[in-house]
Amino acid sequence: KEKTLAIIKPDGVNGNYVDVIKKTILGSSFSITQEMQLQLNVNTVKSFYAEHASKSFFSGLVQYMTSGPVVIMVLEKENAIADWRALIGPTDANIAKVTHPKSVRAFCGLDLQRNCVHGSDSPQSAAREISFFFEKSSSA
Ligand code: ATP
């Protein structure tokens, strides 16, 4: 079976969406094989999102992702990477509300930045992101 990394971002945890998101995950045939709640620090977020370092939204993204605790999970099922991306919907929660009203971002996201969840976008990212948080004691 395939694994992907899911993050419930600070707006999701702060808005009390953890239980409903986990129910959605389990009700969509994923297993949650690892899970932890933690407060990310600036260096961890900068390293996790290194591919976005040159983007105009990067400093806002770092501020947002360090604004409160996150819940980080490894999800497992056949086709987990694409299926979790489909379940969460488009990056911009305001667009998700219109085009994918049943998606996770439609019900818990706020806008383009505060979109309440993350999902790995490829097998390469999933492998990197899972080892970033769960298989290296020094990174989180
Ligand atoms: P994620 O990687 O978190 O699952 P994604 O693949 O849909 O989301 P990316 O393009 O990788 O989106 O951007 C990473 C995160 O940066 C987004 O989830 C969002 O929180 C934030 N972000 C992306 N684009 C913008 C933007 N134009 N303005 C503000 N924040 C943004």
**Structure confidence at residue 33 (pLDDT):** 98
- Pick from 107, 104, 134: which is nearest to 119 by CA? 104
Q: Give the model's confidence band at 138: pLDDT under 50 very low, under 70 low, under 90 confident, else very high.
A: very low
Contact present, 116 and 109 (Cβ < 8 Å) = yes
- The C-alpha atoms of residue 66 and residue 75 are separated, in whole angstroms, by 23
Torsion of CA 64, 67, 71, 74, to 10 degrees: 40
Residues with CB under 6 A from ligand 1: 52, 57, 60-61, 91, 112-113, 115, 118-119, 121
- Please indicate whether residue 118 is annotated as part of the active site: yes
For residue 91, the CA-to-ligand 1 centroid distance in Å is: 6
**Structure confidence at residue 23 (pLDDT):** 98
For residue 60, the CA-to-ligand 1 centroid distance in Å is: 11
Q: DSSP class of residue 121?
A: -
Q: Which residues contact 68 (CB under 8 A, 6 or more apart)?
A: 10, 13, 14, 39
Ligand 1 mutation pick, 54, 91, 133, max ligand atoms within 8 A of CB? 91
For residue 99, the CA-to-ligand 1 centroid distance in Å is: 17
pLDDT at residue 53 above 70?
Answer: yes
Strands (E), the chain: 2-8, 31-38, 70-77, 117-119
Return the SS3 of 92.
Answer: coil
Q: Give the model's confidence band at 135: pLDDT under 50 very low, under 70 low, under 90 confident, else very high.
A: confident
**Structure confidence at residue 136 (pLDDT):** 56
**Nearest atom (ligand 1) to Cα of 115:** 20
Task: Tell me the per-residue pLDDT of 61-109, one tens digit each, with 9 for 90 and over.
Answer: 999 999 999 999 999 999 999 999 999 999 999 999 999 999 999 999 9
pTM of the model: 0.94
